[in-house]
Amino acid sequence: MVPENGVKRCVFMPTSHEAASLALLVQKCTSVTSLRLARQLHALLLTSSIAVAAVVPHSPPYTHNNVLSMYARCGSLGDARKVFDKMPQRNLVSFNALISAYSRARDNAVSALKLGNQMTAECHKPNGTTFTSLLQASSRLEDWFLGCLLHDQVMKFGFSNDQRVQTSLLGMYSNCGDLKAARKVFALLVDKDVVAWNSIILGNLRNDEVKNGIQLFYDMLRTGVSPSQFTYSMVLNACGTLGDYRIGQLVHARVVISNSQADLTLQNALLDMYCNCSNAQMAFTLFRRMGSTDLVSWNSMISGVAENGDGEKAMCLFVELKGMSFVEPDEHTFAAVISATSGFLASEIGKPLHAQVIKAGLEKSVFVGATLVSMYFKNGEPEVAGKVFYSISNKDVVLWTEMITSYSRLADGNNAIKFYCRMCREGHKVDSFALSGALSACADLAILRQGEMIHSQAVKIGYEAEMSVLGSLVDMYAKNGVIENACTIFSRALNPDLKCWNSMLSGYSHHGMVAEALQIFDEILKHGLKPDQVTFLSLLSACHHRGLVEQGKLVWNYMLENGITPGPKHYCCMVSLLSRNGLLDEAEEMILKSPFGEDNTELWRTLLSSCVVRKNMRIGIKAAEQVLRLDPEDCATHVLLSNLYAASGEWNGVSKMRRKFRGLMSEKDPGLSWLEAKNNIQVFFSGIQSHPELAEAQMQLHRLQGNMIRAQRDEIDTAFA
């Protein structure tokens, strides 16, 4: 019993055995990783007589610090904070333990910085560990200004030569996008270890300096620093991004000869690299050799075979994954497999996959939603795609862009423009893909004013120089008849890609400017680009416009010699060129030799049209028979055949065809026309009676007719005066 201010107080002094037990319990705190065990151990410390003796008001914070660190290691920051707040005494280690725990997650980074201020207020001097954690917190927040203030504090407290602090500074500047400052910090490092090299390499990769990142990897090897598995993973991801198969293989070779067991992250990076470099077979071989796989491995493999066009294999992998019990597909899995199989019939694969998405509770995911929208559009079901779109409440720019570009690809420019305008009104940030899709719609609809407005928007937000936007601008102005603007925009391209060249070539072709089109083709070859099907279609179209048969044949032969397989449009263009210039036999022979002669009505109808002009009954009747074999009720062919009989004087044939035509009782779909007026696109056709502004249009028409009659009368009166 010890008297204290006249009050007797009992103090239980721990025996040597109890002290040893306390030491063992505290030591146990440093290895516990299970939250359940951590709480049991904490309870034992609190309820034992040893704990009572250890936590008297003036005891050192050693025990509490270990309990705090234990909770932080178990991921329970709430429990760690409670221990911290109830500590009778706190020292620098207490603050560093909790700051370090907070700095590891972006959501708690602000708490780490606030705790740093509290530490200063309680007169604790920060050390290297403190600054390392605080810099990590500012890096998580990508707060460059705060990072710079911490850098000043590092200098003030004399930690500018601390290796760990300098490495944290390097990571902070890299993560905040200030590569210039990061390189300065890296240059000042005396002992550049693997962590420092990893930080500067990762900084370059994150800031789109991929080639510089790979060059730094080479510099690292030259200095004799051995790469870690994280280094190899980063560089392999960079090779996948660049599609650099050669360097990727060299890195893989270094991994093999290093004799280190590749961890799962590195193995996944290898899978990703080979898939992105179009060697899905090698990726599949590695995948089958992996001892253990996770969902990332499966997703990489499904995405890889999908990107290489093997939808069937992607589906087989998905089915195999579903048959495994240890992992469930996530939104990335579903997005990959839906994208891979979007070319198949929706009723067979797409819709069952959609049902699986709903079952998994992922129907609201914008990531999955974008692939579902794309799949339904490719299957010709825009209404279902629209339902998927409207069912997702939090739409992102990718989902909006998918709707715009899909409608544009379907030649439904009106809906494409409507969705683009709605996207802008709802405040979504427009990207280059959305701009390109909207401009393509303006090109197809031939609405110049709307295209010019979108062009102004592209300039305003800085996307005019983006290659996809630039190519769409060229195409839009060319199809709207303003070839001069198309040329001006094209001339601004520093290094145009093939799509951009094709847009300019198509523009010249559209205007029948053959010499200019051929000159563009020469420039494509000089720039080392390989012409594709679009290039040759534009060239053939240019020759067709001007009736240049010999040049067309040269282009056709050059296309075949360079391994480009002509499609239906190429054959149609060539058949039209030959037949319109009187070479009907050659045109017929080309159709018969083509792989589309048996089932393509357009080829035979094109030939029939020229036979009418040339009055060639022999080939014309053959062509008509081929079309009617495939489509007996084809109205256009019956009309053409009737005209052929009339042109040849076969009036019995004309009567027969007209009777047959009337007997079909088929009605030809009206051709649509449209015009742009006061920001609205008015669509109409001959004989329309349901337009909401029909009465006003008819009134204006009568007014114009009256003006024309009066003008004609005035002209007659003047002539006889």
Rounded distance between C-alpha atoms, residue 115 and residue 164, angstroms: 20
Buried b (16+ CB within 10 A) or exposed e, 233-272: bbbbbbbbbbebbebbbebbeebeeeeeebeeebbbbbbb
* Host H or E run for residue 602: helix 601-614
**Residues β-bridged to residue 673:** 684
Positions of the chain with pLDDT lower than 70, given as ranges? 1-28, 30-31, 47-60, 653-654, 657-694, 711-721
Tally of CA atoms within 13 A in the half-sphere of 623 that contains its CB: 31
For the chain, domain boundaries: 566-664
Buried b (16+ CB within 10 A) or exposed e, 192-211: beebbbbbbbbbbbebebbe
Cα distances from 39 to residues 20, 46, 104, 548, in angstroms, run 21, 10, 22, 87
Tell me which residue has tokens 């146990």.
28
Q: Is 400 helix (H, G, I), strand (E, B) or coil?
A: helix
Instruction: Show the tokens assigned to 242.
Output: 């660049």
- Within 8 A by CB and 6+ apart from 139, the residues are 147, 168, 171, 172, 175, 176
User: One-letter amino acid identity for 53?
Assistant: A
Q: Determine how many CB atoms are found less than 10 A away from the CB of residue 691.
A: 14
| pLDDT at res. 237 | 92
Do residues 233 and 266 lie in contact, with contact meaning Cβ atoms separated by under 8 Å?
yes
At 681, give phi and psi (nearest 5°): -105, 115
| pLDDT at res. 7 | 39
Rounded distance between C-alpha atoms, residue 207 and residue 241, angstroms: 13
| pLDDT at res. 108 | 84
Instruction: Show the tokens assigned to 567.
Output: 């499609």
| pLDDT at res. 663 | 55
Tell me which residue has tokens 């151990």.
41
Output the 3-class SS for 223-282: CCCCCCHHHHHHHHHHHHHHCCHHHHHHHHHHHHHCCCCCCHHHHHHHHHHHHHCCCHHH
| pLDDT at res. 654 | 66
| pLDDT at res. 20 | 54
Do residues 450 and 456 lie in contact, with contact meaning Cβ atoms separated by under 8 Å?
no
Tell me which residue has tokens 């630039």.
470
566-664 architecture in CATH?
Alpha Horseshoe (1.25)
Would the CA dihedral through 88, 93, 97, 102 be positive or negative? positive
Would the CA dihedral through 358, 363, 365, 368 be positive or negative? positive
| pLDDT at res. 8 | 42
| pLDDT at res. 621 | 87
Cα distances from 616 to residues 14, 376, 509, 589, in angstroms, run 118, 45, 30, 15
